[in-house]
Amino acid sequence: MPRENITREATLGQLLDEVVAKYPDNDAVVYVDRDYRQTWKEFKETVDTIAKGLMAMGVKRGEKVALWATNVPHWVALQFATAKIGAILLTINTNNKSKEIDYILRQSETENIFIINGSRDSDYVAILYELVPELKVQPRGMLKSENYPHLKRVMFLGSEKHRGMFSMPEVMLMACQITDEEYKKRQKELTPNDTVNMQYTSGTTGFPKGVMLTHFNLGNNGYWVGINQNFDSNDRVCLPVPLFHCFGCSLGVMACINHGSAMVIVEEYDPLIVMMSIEKERCTALYGVPTMFISIMENKMFDKFDFSTLRTGIMAGSPCPTKTMEEAVRRMNMREVTIVFGLTESSPAMTQSMYDEPSIEKKCSTVGKAIPGIEVEIIDNETGKICEVGVPGEFCCRGHNVMKGYYKMPEETAKAIDEDGWLHSGDIGVKDKDGYFAVTGRIKDMIIRGGENIYPKELEDFIHHVEGVKDVQVVGVPDYKYGEVPGAFIILKEGYDLTADDIKDYCRGKIARYKTPVYVAFVKEYPMTASGKIMKFKLRETAAKMWAK
């Protein structure tokens, strides 16, 4: 595999056409829990049909096409259909409720939206009718909404018919109205620097912002993420992570598109379906956040499945406990598993460990080195200077992965990307003498106890080694004397019964006294975003209510 600093000047549509030309009969998209399997040639035909259908409906270059859906069939096809006609796919968090949807529709000035029936306790159809009552009385395709003047069309991602909405079969049937010449002409108008994707930050901190990503951002990020896993056309990648998040649609889909690897998609995360997918499709790679890997390895059916074909994948999305990584290598055969660090604004990868890291220590305790073509530095927030080796500071990057900006938020964009082009992540890290980076926490997560800095991840990794601890999250608790002290929220493995004193006794004498948790609570689960990230700000709020002095 080449390692030189390659950047590719191509649109997502051109990248798809390339892989179809090379591997037309290889599997492209597979779902094991239903009869759904498409080769690259068949996938492209679906993409082109949807793209022409959208053109026939009047979707213009630069229009937003919001997609509010779980990882259903046609999700990835829509990602490329919109890209091929110069539209901007706006991915929506599946956990969002009516207030979030109202905000996104208004702030993004969305012209089009695709929805499914719903997910979990949310009825998407009912929410759209509540927000856009005109759908029930106005002709389809002639929508005039008082609250959302930009909104023109609502589509249902399925065959069911809903008043005021076009069904997916109807969208695809309209493709016959667009000639190949019209379709090719639209594609020739596009450039790699056009915005092709918008994602709203999860809102775990701050006000949701629409991150604008280009073909160039996503294409190059996906290329290198695949290279660092040694992907080729023989790889089969299990993707149970949400496609609305960069983890799914960029690290996952774009890595596969760049290297012709098959996408084995899981509609909604379920450890049994994931394990079944790996065994039945002989997957070579698996993506997931640490909590997903933990739930798989803790599942009672784990020993009944064959993981022998696995070799690589990505464990990312939140800090990776060293013990979880070690167990994935040992128990799931993921000897070449990688860690990616980044954020939506960086497309999302800044750094990544390599599939062939020389030591397990580098694989488990770092987030790898800078992605080729991207500068990554640890910068002192106070002075703005690059930190020396081993000195903590803020993770910053610049290069082909940096977003175009936040939609209609120039001031917020200027806060995120400084005058020298550095994107500031808000994460604390250190760099070692070999160029490997390690994450020590969020700037807002760092605990300052009487002037001593405590990095939650360091303490979490330590407590993970207590027998019976399944997962642990450490947050700062307001304290009158010290300003802040550490508190730990712990999930125990089944069959274990530990006390707060057990945890504190384990820490005494092994770590600095000021790092030992002052408070310990045992919980069944953590508050999570739909993409599997633990919402530490909610844990901080809970800790303050329970323990603050």
Whether residue 459 is contained in a domain is answered as: yes
Q: How far apart are the first and last CA of the chain?
A: 56
Six token digits for residue 387? 């930190």
Residues of the chain scoring pLDDT < 50: 1-2, 203-205
For residue 505, give every residue at least 6 positions away whose Cβ sits within 8 Å of its Cβ, in sequence order, or none: none
Whether residue 40 is contained in a domain is answered as: no
Q: What are phi and psi of 364, to 5 degrees?
A: -90, -35
Identify the domain containing residue 537 by its residue range. Answer: 447-547
> What is the pLDDT at residue 203?
43
Q: In terms of C-beta distances under 8 Å and separation of at least 24 residues, what long-range contacts does 277-281 make, across chains too? A: 277/32, 277/33, 277/238, 277/240, 278/238, 278/305, 278/306, 278/307, 278/309, 278/310, 279/305, 279/306, 279/307, 280/32, 281/30, 281/32, 281/236, 281/238
> What is the pLDDT at residue 206?
52
**Could you give the C-alpha distances from 102 to 116, 156, 272, 518, in angstroms and in order?**
17, 18, 35, 42
The edge-to-edge listing of strands for the beta sheet with 336-338 is: 36-39, 27-31, 262-265, 236-239, 285-288, 312-315, 336-338
Domain finish residue from 165, 200, 235: 200
> Can you state the angle between helices 40-57 and 75-84, rounded to 10 degrees?
60
Domain finish residue from 169, 185, 200: 200
> What is the pLDDT at residue 63?
98
Whether residue 227 is contained in a domain is answered as: no
Burial of residue 344, with CB atoms counted within 10 A of its CB: 0-12 exposed, 13-18 middle, 19 or more buried: buried
Whether residue 12 is contained in a domain is answered as: no
Q: Minimal CA–CA distance to 507: which of 440, 460, 450, 546? A: 460
Whether residue 360 is contained in a domain is answered as: no
Cis peptide before 348 (omega within 30 of 0): yes
> What is the pLDDT at residue 429?
93
> What is the pLDDT at residue 2?
47
CB 108 within 8 A of CB 89: no
> What is the pLDDT at residue 205?
43
- List the CATH number of the domain containing 538: 3.30.300.30
Count the domains in the chain. Answer: 2
For residue 173, give every residue at least 6 positions away whose Cβ sits within 8 Å of its Cβ, in sequence order, or none: 53
Whether residue 401 is contained in a domain is answered as: no
> What is the pLDDT at residue 322?
82
> What is the pLDDT at residue 204?
37
- List the CATH number of the domain containing 97: 3.40.50.12780
Whether residue 525 is contained in a domain is answered as: yes
Half-sphere exposure in the Cβ direction for 17 (13 Å, CA): 11
Q: Minimal CA–CA distance to 70: which of 38, 48, 92, 88? A: 92
Whether residue 288 is contained in a domain is answered as: no
> What is the pLDDT at residue 207?
66
Six token digits for residue 83? 């890209």
pTM above 0.75, yes or no: yes
Domain finish residue from 200, 235, 259: 200
> What is the pLDDT at residue 337?
97
Q: Minimal CA–CA distance to 116: which of 202, 27, 243, 28? A: 243
